[in-house]
Amino acid sequence: MDWQTSEDTVPSAPITEADARLLRARPPATGAWRDGDPAGDRRFASLGSFRTEGGRELPSIRLAYETWGTLSPQRDNAVLVLHALTGDSHVRGPAGPGHATAGWWEDIIGPGSAIDTDEWFVVAANILGGCQGSTGPASIAPDGYEWGPRFPHLTVRDQVEAQARLADALGIQVWAAVVGGSMGGMHALEWAIGHADRVDRLAVLCSPPTTTADQVALNSVQLEAIRMDPRFAGGEYYDAADGEGPHRGLALARRMALLNYRSPTELNQRFGRSWQSDKDPLREGGRYAVESYLDFHGNKFTRRFDANAYLTLVEAMNSHDVGRGRGGIEDALAQVTARTLVLGIDSDRLFPVDGQRRISRGIRSTIDDDTVVLSSDFGHDGFLIETEAVGHHLRRLLEG
């Protein structure tokens, strides 16, 4: 099972033969979806020229998106679902041509599920700067070459403005709900503040009101791991003569990130001090099982992501601060008018619960007038894994 964060929710899950074949093959220079690849369930919205907060101009942008359910004649049943850092628009549906992984929230979205597609029209888009069909560094620039390192710096607010254009293109003036976790929660908050009149209900899952210095520091070492890979070549790796890209650096960045997505309790209970091979790590140079777990998922990640896109999106996360230019965090949160679910995981070491509590204190109308805190050993990934509990609270939000 391949999630947008750690991608493996089953303890000690065996490697499938399909995974083994995938990892035996030489990785491509980039794992980005490219024009000419199977579209799968993606649709595409061309949204014209775009000027970033930093003043850079993109002559045209496109967002890849998917939908489930039926938009009502009144256009009042639309729910926007926003993905985390390395996610995409494929929230529901099998892996297959065009989709390297199965839907990342299958148990939350669908007929009869917490976000019931018999009732709600669900939209999920790959964010601007991503690499699964939306305009990003792996996209072709007007000169016929990939944007690569020339792609402009983006902020979370830039990405939300692109999403607002998508809503306009779909004829959706007001979202019945905007739901996001992790980086998607940053986008959801920005929607509810910058476009308060367009959001009726809001769900912010495992996300902070601002990216802290500690979180920027954790991000910085991941970015440096990519940049230090000789095959990164300053971001100009798409046409490498040998077809090789910065796989080692990107895989290492992913391994670092995974340590923030899971809790010490879960890793210790799951792996202990077991080793992966017949060789004893203490005597024969063998490997501990947790090392092999990180290696596997780091290497698998390079098959579905792009190194330049990873840099672009992590730097966008670093820009997140709802109080910037709004008089501070509390003044910004006071602008939210949507009925809100704020949910955190007690073992989350990436975005600890104190950030979610600050959001709850600043918003006028939250479920139970407080943060919903789930107890889970899965850490930050809990919002993707604890689907029964998360779904229960999403139902409460949508039915209220």
CA separation for the pair 152, 155 (Å, rounded): 10
> What is the 3-state composition of the chain as percent helix, strand, coil, each rounded to the nearest 5?
35, 15, 50
For residues 153 and 51, the answer to whether their CB atoms sit within 8 Å is no
CA separation for the pair 87, 65 (Å, rounded): 12
Closest CA to 311 of 368, 367, 257, 378: 257
- Determine phi and psi for 85, rounding to 5 degrees: -45, -55
Q: Does the annotation mark 348 as catalytic?
A: yes
Which one is catalytic: 348, 360, 376, 377? 348
C-alpha of 294 from chain center: 19
CA separation for the pair 363, 17 (Å, rounded): 48
Residue 288 DSSP class: B
Which one is catalytic: 182, 207, 263, 319? 182
Outline where 228-282 has alpha helix (H).
247-261, 264-271
- Determine phi and psi for 198, rounding to 5 degrees: -110, 5
Task: Give the 3-state secondary structure of residue 312.
Answer: helix
CA separation for the pair 223, 245 (Å, rounded): 15
- The full DSSP string for 3-29 is -SSS---STTPPPPHHHHHHHHSPPPS
Rg (CA), the chain: 20
Which one is catalytic: 83, 99, 297, 380? 380
Strands 121-125, 78-82: pairing kind: parallel
Closest CA to 205 of 168, 165, 177, 238: 177
Tell me the catalytic residues. Answer: 182, 348, 380
